[in-house]
Amino acid sequence: MNHLSHKTSSILNKKEFEKLGEDKYFQNPIGTGAYKVKSWDLGDKITLEAVPGYFKGDAKIKNIIIKGIPEENSKVIGLETGELDMILSIPPIAWESIEKSRTVTLVKAPSPTTGYIGLNVKKGILKDKEVRQAIAISIDKDAIITAIFSGTVGKAEQFLAPPVFGHNSTVKAQQLDIEKAKKIIKDKGLIGSEVNYPPLKI
C-alpha cells in the first residue's frame, strides 16, 4: 500500500487523460485527495484548496501554497521570517541555526533517499567487477558526510534506505581500503605507461 501511494504510482483519470492529452492533463491534474488544484503558475507556485465533503472529513487547512524556491538560503530565510510555514530538505549548513531558533521547529525523520554514484557497467573499464570494487572502497563516505553534509545524514550500507521496504539491516557495505584499491588498479595495469583498457567514454 505504501508503494501504491507514491507519486509515480498515482491513479490517473483515463477519461480526462484521453480527452486532454498528456500535456494538458499534466497541467490540470485530477486526484482523489483532500485538496484540488486551484491554480498553477509553472516554475513559481501551485495553489491548492480543500475539497468540501471529502470522505475522510474536511481538511482543517483550507488553502495551501506550494512554492518553488531553488535557492536553499532563500528557503531558510523565508522560514525564519515567517514568510514560509514549512520547508523540506533543509541545507545542512542551516541545521545548527534552525535548531537554536526560538521561532522555528526542526523535525527530523529517516529519509527514504539514498545518494549514490551510478556506473555504466557495459562500458570500458567499468565492465570489470574488480575495478568497480576498487572505486567503491576508495570513496571515503565519512569524509563526505562530514565535509558536505555537516554530519546530518547517515552512511548508506546498501542502495535501499532503512525506511524503504526491502531494506536488509544485515547487509554491510565494503569498507574504505585505499591500499587494496591501489593494488587492484595496479594489478589491472591501469596506472603507469601501459594501460590495458581504452579510454572510458560516457
Domains and CATH numbers, the chain: 3-100 (3.40.190.10), 124-187 (no CATH)
- Rounded to whole angstroms, the Cα distance separating 122 from 124 reads 7
pLDDT bin (cut points 50, 70, 90) of residue 142 is very high
Lowest mean pLDDT segment, chosen from 20-29, 55-64, 140-149, 192-201:
192-201
| pTM score | 0.64
pLDDT bin (cut points 50, 70, 90) of residue 94 is confident
Cell reading at 170: 544485515
- Rounded to whole angstroms, the Cα distance separating 14 from 152 reads 43
- Give the per-residue pLDDT at 30: 80
